[in-house]
Amino acid sequence: MTSDHPSIRRRRLGRALTALTLACGCTAASTALTGVASAASVSLAGDAAAAPAGDLHDTSAMRSGTVAVRAAGTLRAPSCRSITFTGNAGRISVQTSPGGSVAWGIYMHDPSENAGPWVVDVYVGNRRVDHKTQNYPPHGSVAPRDAKSGRIFTIKATHTDLKGRVSHEVPNGCVIP
């Protein structure tokens, strides 16, 4: 989860762009929002370095949980096997069972901030497969019939803690194994 503080929003623009690119499946959004296009790979994960242009088999981005967009329009995301997307205020954890179910949970770093309303939508590709509105940290699982291998799994969430602070999902998205 990320805080609504203005300086945090500016620093996380690249990560938000990653979530947008994953959610809509359109790499053109990165060029439209940043005004940058290149024949080399572009890392949109904020802290990670871009892969060299000639290294088409680089898996460091997948291991580090980053997302890389290639100018040719292909998208690489980390595996949903077991990954945690961490923000400045909380985290989203995703794991895939051997049977194909995708389990997930969202938690604030400070447990005292978990109380309060949460609104969560869970997507596989462009299809919403779960929705939750509740006053405790959301978690759940997506059945194998909905969690098709090779699809992108994403979560959109908004949480307001008991002090009125609003947090939104940390940019996330992973490929279901």
Query: Do 100 and 158 sit in the same domain of this protein?
Result: yes
The answer for residues whose C-beta is within 8 angstroms of residue 5's C-beta and 6 or more apart is none
135: closest CA among 100, 159, 104? 159
Last residue in a domain, options 76, 111, 134: 76
Residue 2 pLDDT grade (very low, low, confident, very high; cuts 50, 70, 90): low
Percentage above 70 pLDDT, the chain: 58
Q: Are residues 58 and 102 in the same domain?
A: no
Range of the domain at 60: 2-76
Which residue matches tokens 């179910």?
Answer: 101
User: Does the pLDDT value for residue 56 go beyond 60?
Assistant: no
Same domain, 70 and 95: no
Answer yes or no: do 61 and 113 share one domain: no
Please indicate, yes or no, whether residues 112 and 171 belong to a single structural domain of this protein.
Answer: yes
> Do residues 34 and 68 make contact, with C-beta atoms less than 8 angstroms apart?
no
Boundary-marking domain end, from 76, 91, 114: 76
Residue 132 phi, psi dihedral angles, 5° rounding: -135, 140
Of 55, 76, 97, at which residue does a domain stop? Answer: 76
Closest CA to 92 of 76, 80, 77, 74: 80
> Tens digit of pLDDT for each residue in 73-122?
565 799 999 999 999 999 999 999 999 999 999 999 999 999 999 999 99
On whether both 95 and 146 belong to a single domain, the answer is yes
Q: Is 10's pLDDT higher than 80? A: no
Predicted TM-score (pTM) of the model is 0.61
CATH number at residue 128: 2.60.40.10
| Structural domain count, the chain | 2
What's the distance, CA 173 to chain centroid? 4
Span 154-168, average pLDDT: 96
Q: How high is the pLDDT of residue 28?
A: 34
Best mean pLDDT range from 22-26, 48-52, 148-152: 148-152
- Please check whether residues 105 and 155 belong to one and the same domain: yes
Q: Are residues 71 and 88 in the same domain?
A: no
Are residues 92 and 29 both part of a single domain?
A: no
